[in-house]
Amino acid sequence: MYRKPITTPQSSMFSSLVDIIDQQHPLVLLGDKIDWHRFEESFSRHYSQRMGKPAKPIRLMVSLLILKQLRNLSDENIVLHWSENLYFQYFSGCMVFTPGLPCSATELVEFRKRIGSEGMELIFKESIRVNDQDSNDDTLSVDTTVQEKNITYPTDTKLHQKIIKKCVGIARKEGIVLRQSYRFTLKRLNVLLRFQHTKKGSAQARKARKKIKTIAGRLQRELCRKLDTAALERYQHQLNIYHKVLQQKRSDRNKIYSLHEPEVKCYTKGKEHKKFEFGSKASILVTQSSGVIVGALNFNENIHDSKTLVPVLEQYERLMDRKPKEVYADRGYRGPKQVSNVAIKVPVPNKDLTKSQRKKHSRRAAIEPVISHLKFDYRLVRNFLKGSVGDSMNLLLSAAAFNFKRVMNLWRTEAIHSWQLLLIIQRAVYGIFMPQKLKMTF
């Protein structure tokens, strides 16, 4: 059930957070600048007005999502850190210190499902608005990266072993007696796989891998025969995935690399330290002059970089209500010179380029550290959210956290400069009349 936000601060016998914390802290300034009322208006339609238990405040849940990405924490850890941090609680709209947990970690999962990708895009749009005039640059840089999924390095034998484990679990859950569980046979075969890189053990390991695949196929077919009609409908999607994994070959396209994340694709980016990356493709738009992220769109297909331009530019027009003037890209975008009436600038050998154009081409490389910060500081290096919807949510939240942190760093820099200026003035005014001991304190 939807709970209306409290507009007036409640009086308390304890000290208010306003009296304790530093009012110039960047997190305090950010909490005062974000338009929380916009989230209340947009997300209240996802709640029932009469039925159910009163929900947690929308500002609290949105702030937890933002803080989770800002501090690079998991759902469990952000809930624990919130109960210990005064600034986190003020950012969430609390007036007094609350020693208990704000919610359970699973409530964040349900809130993400409730608002969906559209809600995450609204948070991302607010992060652009907070940066004021810095986000109004019409010259953009674009690049793509891979958002890796939380899966292990896939091999065929590993997938076959997981199919065997899943089939045995389904049979145990449905009360089906299998002809053979192959428990001790798999132990013996796994021992042979340990010596697959030795001279004498490679042939035995090859036979063991073939035997494991045969066992997985037997169990999958036996389940299809023995499950009743109702149970077969429940597990039909899983059994179809198992069948496709068993039938796929090395050279096939659209292979399945993970049983719990079948949407994962394999990307070859040409990196020396990592030849293959498994996840989804993310397209990033950044302003050249200020470095504000103004576009972030996820793709679950293995497509060429130039084909990602139209959707990400449509997202930019939807968020900013205008079209960019020109977009600078690397040579991976070779092909279209104009998309949606927007000039696409790809570096080519040309001596007639002006000095400003050369500078903009050089400035395009500044998007690389932005992507690096997104990955290693704002939870884009490994996505723990499930499904293709989770890919889009994680990318939008990471981009929003980057924009929020950018404006927080600007406020922190301004505070340091103002303090240094005040110190210089004090030294100039009082330096002549102050004793030597007091001068030491400055």
Chain mean position to CA 194: 36
Three-class SS state of 13: coil
The residue behind tokens 């005062």 is: 32
Binned at pLDDT 50, 70 and 90, residue 356 comes out as confident
Average confidence score pLDDT of the chain: 89
CATH 3.30.450 at 136-152+265-384, yes or no: no
Lowest average pLDDT, out of 133-137, 167-171, 186-190, 208-212, goes to: 133-137
Domain spans, the chain: 17-130, 136-152+265-384, 156-247, 412-441
Per-residue confidence (pLDDT) for residue 425, from 0 to 100: 77
Element containing residue 326 per DSSP (H, E): strand 326-328
DSSP-assigned beta bridge partners for residue 151: none
CA distance 284 to 145: 8
**Residue 217: what residue type?**
G
Considering only CA atoms, which of 115, 83, 88 is closest in space to residue 30?
88
Chain mean position to CA 241: 26
Three-class SS state of 287: strand
Query: At residue 375, what are phi and psi to the nearest 5 degrees?
Result: -75, -50
Q: Which two tokens stand for residue 356?
A: 């400003």
CA distance 88 to 82: 6
Three-class SS state of 310: helix
Length of the chain: 442
Per-residue confidence (pLDDT) for residue 14, from 0 to 100: 56
- pLDDT tens digits, one per residue of 368-383: 999 999 999 999 999 9
Binned at pLDDT 50, 70 and 90, residue 6 comes out as low
Contact (CB, 8 A) for 257 and 93: no
Binned at pLDDT 50, 70 and 90, residue 9 comes out as low
Chain mean position to CA 223: 37
Q: Is the pLDDT of residue 355 over 90?
A: no
Burial 288-320 (b: 16+ CB within 10 A, else e): bebbbbbbbbbbeeeeebbebbeebbebbeebb
Per-residue confidence (pLDDT) for residue 171, from 0 to 100: 95
CA distance 270 to 33: 42
CB-CB neighbours of 352 under 10 Å: 5
CA distance 244 to 330: 37
**Residues near 402 by Cβ (< 8 Å), separated by ≥ 6?**
127, 293, 370, 373, 374, 377, 378
- pLDDT tens digits, one per residue of 224-271: 999 999 999 999 999 999 999 999 998 888 899 999 999 999 998 777
